[in-house]
Amino acid sequence: MATIQLRQVAKQFGAIYAVKPVDLTINDGEFVALLGPSGCGKTTTLRMIAGLETVTSGTILLNNLDVTHLRGRERDIAMVFQLFALYPQMTVRQNIAFPLEAQRTPHAEINTRIDEVIRMLEIGHLQNLRPRALSGGDRQRVALARALIRRPAAFLMDEPLGALDAEFRETMRAEIKRLHILQHATTVYVTHDQIEAMAMGDRIVVMSAAVVQQIGTPADVYHYPANLFVARFIGSPGMNLLTGQIVGEAIVLTGGGSFPLTDRWRALLERANLPEQRVILGFRPEAARVDPQGPIPGTVYADDLHGAYTMLHLALGDNTTIVHARASRETNYPIDTALRFDLDPAMVRFFHPATEQAIVE
């Protein structure tokens, strides 16, 4: 059981910040995903928590004890890298036992604990096989069992599914989360895959360019992105972001068309210090719906079936700005069909064009 606190934790390599000062509290039993593109500082943050990397400044607390200057193995934290490395000459059972053997745990206890994780992961039928005989997914399960058996205070995972095929990733993603629900061990999970972070995290820490951009639940970062980076990075495709200028009671969009503003929105935007009344209108693909009376005209640039739904890609009047709109799977328009669309007002967001921050009440 562990609470992890980062207070103004930063890492510099020479003059360059790998991580700018971060404040973050990870609650006991929580699953927190560190999400961002490569080079954003997420792995460095994880390695500082693990004690594999020193901090340049700031304090790390584990269960309210300052561990900033303790070495990794003094922190009772298990680091799981890509879940690959199994010893090929050992059986599954020997592989799982290995971390406890190394700690000289009594044999009776080792056996009890192995039986427990084997039951939890449903791999009893594999225990006498060698890794070579296992499928990719089963190998991952065994690697996971080997991490679980240590019963550490916290798990730190660095892209453990990175090397897997799409189909195993889907399965293992659910498996890791299911185990987390059973064990409730505090987990910090690094990934560049926003779908993984959304699916698994109780909360997500979105990072970019060494800076924490937003900390929030999956619903927060999806529906209320703090800035343009988060709006673009979360979602597939990301949020539609249209530049425009407030003229009278509407935003005139740079790409063509205009979007009428309610009184409440106008009051909000008046307080926002917009440069020359310029603003960015944001909305998720599912907020746009084709409507012959809609305020924004576009033409079909492409439409594609994703299986359960169709994604419409609409070019605005400038023929450069593309809006993505999620539609029912029966939707089927030829390219260049002229359409109009409207937005679900509950899903409309605004961003400041200079600061790139969300404009909120």
Partner 1 sequence: MADIALRQISKRFGQIAALNDMSFEVHDGEFFVLLGPSGAGKTTTLRVIAGLERQDSGSVAFDKQSVDQLGPPERDVAFVFQQYSLYPTMTVFDNLAFPLRAPGRHMDEAAIKQRVGDAAEKLRISHLLERKTGRLSGGEMQRVSIGRAIVREPRVFLMDEPLSNLDFKLRESLRVELKHLQKTRHSTTLFVTHDQIEALTMADRIAVLNKGQLIQIGTPKDIYDRPTSAFVAQLVGTPRMNMLPASRAEGQIHITETPITLPIPELDSILPASFTLGVRPEDVQPHPDGPFNGKVALIEPLGVETIVHINTGKQTLVSTVAGIANLQIGNDVRFDIVRERLHMFDSNGDRVTI
Task: Summarize as ranges the residues that interact with partner 1 (CB under 8 A).
Answer: 37, 166-167, 170, 173-174, 177-178, 181, 193, 195, 198-200, 218-219, 222-223, 232-238, 284-286, 301-302, 304-308, 311, 313, 322, 326, 335
Distance separating alpha carbons of residues 49 and 61, to the nearest angstrom:
9
| Shortest Å, Cβ 263 to partner 1 | 27
End-to-end CA distance of the chain: 38
> Strand 211-216 relative to strand 203-208: parallel, antiparallel, unpaired?
antiparallel
Nearer residue to partner 1 within complex by CB, 237 or 260 = 237
- Residue 80: count other Cβ atoms within 10 Å of its Cβ: 20
| 207-246 exposure pattern, b = at least 16 Cβ within 10 A, e = fewer | bbebbbbbbbebebbbeebbbbbbbbbbbeebbbbbebbb
| Residue number with CB closer to partner 1 (68 or 186) | 186
Instruction: Name which of 108 and 308 has its Cβ closer to partner 1.
Output: 308
Question: Taking the complex as a whole, how short is the minimal distance between the CB of residue 177 and partner 1, in angstroms?
Answer: 6
Give the shortest CB-235-to-partner 1 separation in angstroms: 6
Cβ proximity to partner 1: between 15 and 346 the closer is 346
Q: To the nearest whole angstrom, how small is the minimum distance from the Cβ of residue 86 to partner 1? A: 22
In terms of Cα–Cα distance, which of 174, 211, 175, 205 is closest to 192?
205
Amino acid symbol at 281:
L
Residue 199 CB, nearest approach to partner 1 (Å): 4
Q: Toward partner 1, which CB reaches closer, 252 or 322?
A: 322
Of 147, 32, 132, the C-alpha closest to 83 is 147
Half-sphere exposure of residue 199: CA atoms within 13 angstroms, side-chain side: 16
Q: Which is nearer to partner 1, 62 or 215 (CB)?
A: 215
Rounded-to-integer distance, Cα 66 and Cα 5, Å = 9
In the complex, what is the shortest distance from the CB of residue 112 to partner 1, in angstroms, rounded to a whole number?
26
> CA geometry: angle at 284 spanning 283 and 287, to 5°?
80
Q: Among residues 257 and 285, whose Cβ is nearest to partner 1?
A: 285
As measured in angstroms, the least distance from the Cβ of 164 to partner 1 is 14
Residue with smaller CB distance to partner 1, 100 or 189: 189
How far is Cα 46 from Cα 35, in angstroms, rounded to an integer? 11
Q: Which residues of 60-73 are buried (b: 16+ CB within 10 A; e: fewer)?
A: bebeeeebbeeebe
Token readout for 187 is 């987990």
Q: Tell the smallest beta-carbon distance from residue 195 to partner 1 (Å).
A: 6
31 DSSP β-pair partners: 187
CB of 231 to partner 1, least distance (A): 11
Cα–Cα distance, 154 to 277 (Å, whole number): 49
By beta-carbon proximity to partner 1, the closer residue of 138 and 261 is 138
**CB hemisphere CA count around 83 (13 angstroms):** 28
The answer to whether 4 touches 154, Cβ cutoff 8 Å, is yes
